[in-house]
């Protein structure tokens, strides 16, 4: 593990690291905040997945999670959103595809399938790697994220309910297979057969019988992507006939930015801490 930076914050450690990824076939960067409690004992882990165009740095620099994570004794891991490097395929003029837009899936179509294995990276490789280097209690894991990362968190939780005890999201793309800003990427990554898309779509997973106990979703009503990209009411509708509990909070005047995320970050960390006891 290569150390890019380590900084003390709220008595804990905020670090940025790189490692060679077998899944993505490139060097991957991730951030980890370790609370002071981890000096004495293993701590629960919360994974934060960022959105389109982001890296690990967006939430690390603007999410304002460290004070509450230190208080609650939570380790927060912030992976990158896609593979990186000169040899990694990309669409330079399309911010919804390629680098920064991995959509937390395992691509099956060339040229993307060589590197874009983000589902496997997030669910298998990175957890196995970081648990060797930090004092983590891997029996207590939660996951959350923003936008594309909210989509990733929800689908990963739904598909891995035995691993994750909590899940929340800020402005998630709840049905990416039909959303304007994700369906074209899904076709390029996964091919034209939409049946293959369903395991990466929260609404489709619930419709197909997949379950997770409960979700917290915060959504700004002034979000410019609300109507065509996010549409949380679709997830609200699909869980109505299930035993899944949904807390959906709509906020006047809030948009899609980290001003919105940082406002409600404490609520989400407390949500996870209550379920990771």
Q: How far is 220 from 230, CA to CA, in rounded Å? A: 11
Place of tokens 């699909």: 238
The answer to whether the beta carbons of residues 52 and 176 sit under 8 Å apart is: no
Q: Where are the alpha helices (DSSP H) in the chain?
A: 57-62, 66-72, 118-120, 126-130, 148-159, 183-190, 202-207, 232-239, 258-275
Triad 188, 192, 194: Cα angle to 5° = 110
Residue 60 is encoded by which pair of tokens?
């690390």
Measure Cα distances from 232 to 101, 173, 212, 218 in Å: 20, 8, 17, 9
Say how far apart CA 44 and CA 272 lie, in whole Å.
9
Instruction: Give me the catalytic one of 147, 166, 168, 182.
Output: 147
Choose, from 82, 201, 223, 272, the residue flagged as catalytic. 223
Give the span between the Cα atoms of 55 and 82, in whole angstroms.
8
Pairing outcome for strands 12-21 and 2-9: antiparallel
Classify 67 as helix, strand or coil.
Answer: helix
Q: In this structure, is the dihedral angle defined by the CA atoms of residues 250, 158, 160 and 119, taken in order, positive or negative? A: negative
Annotated active-site residue 147? The verdict is yes
Structure tokens that stand for 46 in this block: 């919360």
C-alpha span between 257 and 239 (Å, rounded): 27
Q: Is 251 a catalytic residue?
A: no
Give the separation between CA 114 and CA 157, rounded to whole angstroms: 25
Which of the residues are catalytic?
A: 147, 223, 256
């Amino acid at each position: 593990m290569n150390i890019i930076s380590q900084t003390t914050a709220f008595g804990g450690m905020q670090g940025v690291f790189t490692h060679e990824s077998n899944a993505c076939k490139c060097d991957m960067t991730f951030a980890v905040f370790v609370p002071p409690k981890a000096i004495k004992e293993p701590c629960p882990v919360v994974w934060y997945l960022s959105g389109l165009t982001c890296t690990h740095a967006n939430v690390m620099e603007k999410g304002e999670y460290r004070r509450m994570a230190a208080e609650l004794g939570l380790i927060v891991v912030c992976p990158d959103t896609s593979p990186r490097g000169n040899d990694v395929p990309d669409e330079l003029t399309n911010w919804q595809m390629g680098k920064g837009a991995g959509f937390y899936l395992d691509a099956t179509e060339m040229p993307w399938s060589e590197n874009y294995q983000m589902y496997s990276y997030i669910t298998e490789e990175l957890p196995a790697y970081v648990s060797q280097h930090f004092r983590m209690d891997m029996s207590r894991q939660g996951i959350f994220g923003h936008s594309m990362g909210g989509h990733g968190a929800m689908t990963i939780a739904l598909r891995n309910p035995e691993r994750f005890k909590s899940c929340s999201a800020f402005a998630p793309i709840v049905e990416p297979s039909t959303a304007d800003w994700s369906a074209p990427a899904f076709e390029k990554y996964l091919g034209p057969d939409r049946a293959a898309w369903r395991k990466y779509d929260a609404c489709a997973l619930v419709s197909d019988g997949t379950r997770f106990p409960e979700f917290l979703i915060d959504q700004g009503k002034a979000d410019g992507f609300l109507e065509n990209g996010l549409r949380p009411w679709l997830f609200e509708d699909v869980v109505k006939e299930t035993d899944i509990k949904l807390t959906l909070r709509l906020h006047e005047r809030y948009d899609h930015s980290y001003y919105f995320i940082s406002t409600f970050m404490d609520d989400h960390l407390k949500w996870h801490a209550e379920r990771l006891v």
